[in-house]
Amino acid sequence: MTARILDNPTALFGSMGLTPPDLSLWIHPCTAGCGEQMQRPGICGDCLVKERLEKERIEGMRKRLETIPAQYRDARPDAACVRERVYDARGFDQACTALSRHRVLVLLGPPGAGKSTTAGAVLAAQAEAGRSIAWIPALRLAVARSEGRLGSEPDEIRAAIRAQVIVIDDLGQEGLNPTSAVVDVVHARHDSQKPLIVTSGLDRRDLGTRYGGGVGRRLLEGACVVELTCRRST
């Protein structure tokens, strides 16, 4: 009985011929809009936790996107700006869906074709889907060990192996360095079956010649290879 009266105090006052009180002064809906009614104005406990988790998720994603160079950070599969920078629309669309069926995406093409822009768009989409990402220029991978402390693997290399999805940008641009980590990273990602995006100005044959058949195979076998042209395609 008590519960029923408390459930419907308006009816109770009405049945006694009294003006029902203004319940909005007593009961406050959660300001986050979940429908929870509370005795104090504000947000309910559940929504407070949800809001905090969402804030942490967005902050984490912002930090992850910072690994992408500023120039390419605004690139997304559906961003209008990339259509101005990447002429080969068909190649771009093909690249954007590549990782759903392939572990490796290789973006080839002449300077300015939009390889890095496309890699940025694909990587950002992966970050927004909740995956950890890293962007590493091949140049950095090649010199990181010789510039780092002896005996400890530099952070860039560890990130390149650990992150769920990475871009190695401009493979082939780096000099030949005996301590280069390029080959190790390609091998490590192949062994752990982790997705890899590579951009290169070299063609398929030159990739094999430069890095040896083992790396060439790990990069190209079963990969989605997109050769971006500098002409407009639809």
114 touches ligand ATP by CB under 6 A: yes
Among 30, 67, 85, 215, binds ligand ATP (CB under 6 A): 85
**Beta-carbon count within 10 A of 17 CB:** 6
233 touches ligand ATP by CB under 6 A: no
44 touches Zn ion by CB under 5 A: yes
How would you classify the pairing of strands 37-38 and 196-200? Answer: unpaired
The DSSP symbol for 70 reads G
Q: In what order do the strands lie in the sheet with 196-200?
A: 133-137, 165-171, 196-200, 104-108, 224-227
Among the listed ranges 94-102, 113-121, 185-193, 215-223, the one in contact with ligand ATP (CB under 6 A) is 113-121
Tell which positions 45-64 bind Zn ion, by CB under 5 A.
Answer: 47
Among 116, 126, 180, 200, binds Mg ion (CB under 5 A): 116
In angstroms, rounded to a whole number, what is the distance separating the alpha carbons of residues 82 and 166?
A: 20
Tell me the CB-side half-sphere exposure of residue 5, using CA atoms within 13 A. 6
Tell which positions 48-77 bind ligand ATP, by CB under 6 A.
Answer: 71
Residue ranges binding Mg ion (CB under 5 A): 115-116
Residue ranges binding ligand ATP (CB under 6 A): 71, 85, 109, 111-117, 170, 199, 201
